[in-house]
Amino acid sequence: MTQTTIPAEPPDAAPADDPFRYGWRFVPRPTPDDPHHLEQVPLTLEDVLHPEVGDFIVHSDRHETDRMYLTAVLRARLEEAGVAIVLSDVRIAWDIPDLRPHGPDVMVIPGIRERQDWSTFEVAVEGARPALIIEITSPETRVNDLERKVEHYARAGVAQYVIVDNMSRGGRERRLRLLDYRLEGDAYRQYPPDAAGRVHLVIANLWLVIERDHVVCYDERGVPFGSYATVVRQAAEAAARAQREAERAQREAEARAAEARARHEAEERAQREAERAQREAQARAEVEARLRALEEELHRLRRGG
């Protein structure tokens, strides 16, 4: 298994000059005056690696832009076709003994057709696990993504683990690279990007590439997916088209149903008219038969008299 190493990181606890650098959580700490008091507690690197529901983990704006872009592209690519669901910033609880939950940036899970309002996706309960996880590193916490999660996600059976690694050590400029891990047996093998610097996202059949300081996805024809805003707009337009098609199909179905009801009602009316006419004809025949019988009886009586 190929591993990516990075320089030694500071201790697990956040630095004293910025205790909330990694993030925070609120912990119940009752006081005599407030039995419901919540105390804001700094997160450690271990907390970031294994978050709890409700943790706030600090990310940069560009980190969030890339995360939202990848989520939108993968959802547009996979969810409409029913291939997989795409979850972002959702905690995942594994079905592996002693492997604690993680909070991946993006994960693609086949075998689940509809997203639910998960705060934690439980593998044992849902009977499905991610085929792809993408992590976008932050300079302060990248040791988790580059080292510990490589081991953890391999243990969890994630087929492909892709890292968008921000190698900068602070400042405004981002220096990104792509790392591609694929499961072979029970361990990852690291694959280099192709000659064009692209990584193939296998389940989505998309190509991921670094362009300047952000990520871009290309389809199998080499056509790029636009920015996050473009992808969201395209997804909204596709959803609107699908909604219009569904409404048109519904109107047509309702019109066909109304036409069928009208035919059925006309047939029922015709059937009732036929049955009424038959009853009237039968009644007339019975009256005429009785009249004939009476006439014959009168005629007989006259002859006898």
- For the chain, where are the alpha helices, taking DSSP H only? 45-49, 61-78, 123-126, 142-143, 149-156, 228-304
Tokens of 214: 């952000």
Residue 212: Cβ-neighbour burial (10 angstroms; 0-12, 13-18, 19+): exposed
**Dihedral (CA of 66, 190, 173, 140) sign:** positive
What pLDDT is attached to residue 243?
76
Tokens of 145: 């993504």
Tokens of 183: 């499961």
Instruction: Return the SS3 of 270.
Output: helix
Residue 157: Cβ-neighbour burial (10 angstroms; 0-12, 13-18, 19+): middle
Tokens of 156: 């969890």
Residue with tokens 């059937």: 271
Among residues 133, 204, 196, 129, the alpha carbon closest in space to that of 164 is found at: 133
Q: Kindly give, in sequence order, each residue whose CB lies less than 8 Å from that of residue 66, ignoring residues fewer than 6 positions away.
A: 136, 164, 214, 215
Yes or no: say if 123 and 92 are a contact pair by the CB < 8 Å rule. Answer: yes
What pLDDT is attached to residue 64?
93
Query: pLDDT per position in the chain (305 positions), as tens?
Result: 444 444 444 445 555 678 899 999 999 999 998 999 999 999 999 999 999 999 999 888 889 999 999 999 999 999 988 999 999 999 999 999 999 999 999 999 999 988 899 999 999 999 999 999 999 999 889 999 999 999 999 999 999 999 999 998 766 688 999 999 999 999 999 999 999 999 999 999 999 999 988 999 999 999 998 755 566 666 666 667 767 877 887 888 788 888 888 888 888 888 888 888 888 888 888 878 888 888 887 888 888 75
Yes or no: say if 54 and 25 are a contact pair by the CB < 8 Å rule. Answer: yes
In whole angstroms, give the CA distance from residue 281 to residue 285: 6
In whole angstroms, give the CA distance from residue 204 to residue 290: 87
- Give residue 115's identity as a one-letter amino acid code: R
- Give residue 119's identity as a one-letter amino acid code: S
Among residues 64, 46, 63, the alpha carbon closest in space to that of 55 is found at: 46
Among residues 136, 105, 107, the alpha carbon closest in space to that of 214 is found at: 136
Cβ neighbours around 109 below 10 Å, total: 23
Q: Kindly give, in sequence order, each residue whose CB lies less than 8 Å from that of residue 165, ignoring residues fewer than 6 positions away.
A: 4, 137, 142, 145, 146, 176, 177, 178, 179
- Give residue 292's identity as a one-letter amino acid code: R
Yes or no: say if 217 and 224 are a contact pair by the CB < 8 Å rule. Answer: yes
Yes or no: say if 176 and 210 are a contact pair by the CB < 8 Å rule. Answer: yes
In whole angstroms, give the CA distance from residue 40 to residue 24: 6
Give the tens place of pLDDT for each residue, 27-83: 999 999 899 999 999 999 999 999 999 999 988 888 999 999 999 999 999 998 899
Q: Kindly give, in sequence order, each residue whose CB lies less than 8 Å from that of residue 238, ignoring residues fewer than 6 positions away.
A: 76, 80
pTM score, whole prediction: 0.71
